[in-house]
Amino acid sequence: MSIATPYVSPRVFARWFALPNLFLLLPIPLLSALLFARCENQLRRLRRGGNGSDAAPFRLTVGRFVLVFIGLAYSLFPYLVVDRITIWEAAAAPASLRLILIGALVTLPMITAYTIYSYRVFGGKARTLEYKRRRLPARRRRSTPQRLSLGGVQRK
């Protein structure tokens, strides 16, 4: 979350800093700061060539995004636009939502099946990229002298 988020609106400020909520919501910014510091530490260690997983910074960043989303959702709920439009005002007509649901229920399993199929077909075919330094062949010198042509006169 951002330090500026509670100052967006008086309602958001009251939700974050009212006394019982303050202690209940305190883990969100604290965990977010902890994940940020841990990710920074992990990246510095990897940059220096230390041991550690390359996936750790990604996982830490995903965790931080989840915490930020939870904090933002708590701050704005039930509004989509701060203090202007609620979820229910922004929703489409029920018939349109049903049609979208049917489309999603048909499409998402097909996308999932295709993704699984792609991973099974192409999985394990890629190798680790290696950069090997090749020695370039030495330049060959010509055994015969090169002739230069300067205005019709040839020189050796």
DSSP string, 31-89: HHHHHHHHHHHHHHHHHTT-S--TTHHHHHHHHHHHHHHHHHHHHHTTEEETTTEEHHH
| Number of domains present in the structure of the chain | 2
Q: How far apart are the first and last CA of the chain?
A: 78
Contacts 24+ apart (CB under 8 A), 148-154: none
Task: Give the model confidence (pLDDT) of 30-55 as tens digits.
Answer: 999 999 999 999 999 988 887 778 89
Q: What is the pTM of this model?
A: 0.61
Closest CA to 29 of 54, 64, 61: 64
Residue 56 included in any domain: yes
Same-domain status, 113 and 52: no
Weakly modelled stretches of the chain, pLDDT under 50: none
Same-domain status, 79 and 99: no
Output the pLDDT for position 59. Answer: 95
Same-domain status, 30 and 97: no
Same-domain status, 14 and 74: yes
Output the pLDDT for position 49. Answer: 83
Output the pLDDT for position 156. Answer: 53
Q: Residues near 15 by Cβ (< 8 Å), separated by ≥ 6?
A: 21, 74, 75
Output the pLDDT for position 147. Answer: 60
Output the pLDDT for position 155. Answer: 53
Range of the domain at 105: 92-122
Output the pLDDT for position 154. Answer: 55
